[in-house]
Amino acid sequence: MWFKNLQLHRLPAHWSVTPEQMQQWLAPLAFSDASSIENERRGWVSPRGNDSLVYTANRQMLITYRAEKKLLPASVVTQFTKERAIELEEQQGFKPGRKQMRELKEQVTDELLPRAFSIRRDTNIWIDPVHGWLALDTASATLADDIIGLLVKSVTDLPLASVRVARAPVSAMTDWLLTGDAPAGFTLDRDTELRSAGEGNATVRYVGHALEAEDMRRHIEAGKQCMRLAMTWADRVSFVLTPSLTLKRVTALDVLKEASDPTAVNDDERFEADFALMTGEFARMLADLTEALGGEEDLRAAA
């Protein structure tokens, strides 16, 4: 159940949307199987495999985006197209031109699609109307754009915004490495990437390696900046912070796994307990992380 990535967006705190409203918004774009001649299809599916497109617990919501794509390798299309081109050349006495080759390729693609395998990929989205978070469980910016695009089509007047913090993550991560001091509530782990902004983009990566203060200082003084930094929050959740404020490789540590509800007797109860634990921890972690980055600009301006 635990998200492995957090691509973050902002909603107004205490956004007054109900699961019933969300269900009504998502239903018109619910996923249905692609037809034999369609290359891809996308839509909303139930997070729990039932009739509800919205799972909710403790005012937190979970929705699931599904993308289906036919697997039709370009090499196969090319092979069949060449065979058709040879047949056409024998019929008409000369090689097919560019337009004919394009038409042949389109015809072959249409004929092969019904025989192609389908690949489905589900992506979960956490909606926190209480604290104003919307997070996608993906590290792919392209997939995130597709999901947000469908969400904007589905939800009436979706008040979605980017997360704007006072300190750029790159600047903050670089300073933390330079001083060797993590922000309050966090520790710096043993993975990082430093990159030069100059010509050549010289890059140094540390994986499972102690981040020695002298080494960090030498790289930073040479003009490199921190582009990825592994961190742990409160000994409870580890993650890798990126310049876009996307959290990757999010992992619940043993202390949280031990906190799972031992009284849950079936899958539904375990899912509810895990979802409540995850969303509660994430909300607190994100509050601490934005504070470590100087707070959110809009909130600071309104204060």
Cβ neighbour number for residue 253 with a 10 Å cutoff: 14
Token reading at 243? 């310049």
Cα 272-275-281 angle, rounded to 5 deg: 140
241 in the same domain as 141: no
85 in the same domain as 54: no
Per-residue pLDDT band for 262 (boundaries 50, 70, 90) equals low
Alpha helices in the chain (DSSP H): 19-26, 74-92, 98-112, 141-154, 169-179, 213-221, 254-257, 267-292, 297-302
Collapsed DSSP state (helix, strand, coil) of residue 32: coil
125 in the same domain as 196: no
150 in the same domain as 16: yes
- 1 part of a folded domain: no
Distance of CA 228 to the CA centre of its chain: 16
Average pLDDT value over all residues in the chain: 89
Greater confidence (36 vs 190) lies with 190
Listed residue (119, 96, 153) closest to 40, CA to CA: 119
Residue 66 exposed, middle or buried by CB count within 10 Å (0-12, 13-18, 19+): middle
12 in the same domain as 150: yes
- 176 part of a folded domain: yes
Token reading at 90? 């024998």
141 in the same domain as 38: yes
282 in the same domain as 200: yes
- 159 part of a folded domain: no
Cα separation, 92 vs 207, whole angstroms: 62
Report if pTM > 0.75: yes
Cβ neighbour number for residue 269 with a 10 Å cutoff: 12
185 in the same domain as 107: no
251 in the same domain as 296: yes
Cα separation, 290 vs 112, whole angstroms: 50
Domain count, the chain: 3
Alpha helices in 155-266 (DSSP H): 169-179, 213-221, 254-257
- 160 part of a folded domain: no
Angle between helical axes of 213-221 and 169-179 (0-180°, round to 10): 130
- 162 part of a folded domain: no
Residue 88 exposed, middle or buried by CB count within 10 Å (0-12, 13-18, 19+): middle
pLDDT digits (tens, 9 = 90+) for 78-123: 888 888 888 888 888 888 888 888 888 888 777 777 777 677 899 9
Token reading at 211? 């981040």
Phi, psi (degrees; rounded to nearest 5) at 198: -80, -175
- 12 part of a folded domain: yes
> Is-contact 301 145, C-beta < 8 A?
no
User: Does the pLDDT at position 229 exceed 50?
Assistant: yes
- 164 part of a folded domain: no
pLDDT digits (tens, 9 = 90+) for 36-75: 667 788 999 999 989 999 999 999 999 999 998 877 778 8
Cα separation, 102 vs 106, whole angstroms: 6
105 in the same domain as 22: no
- 161 part of a folded domain: no
What is the reported pLDDT for 303?
38
176 in the same domain as 85: no
Per-residue pLDDT band for 300 (boundaries 50, 70, 90) equals very low
121 in the same domain as 99: no
> Is-contact 18 292, C-beta < 8 A?
no
Owning domain of residue 223: 169-302
- 260-284 mean pLDDT: 85
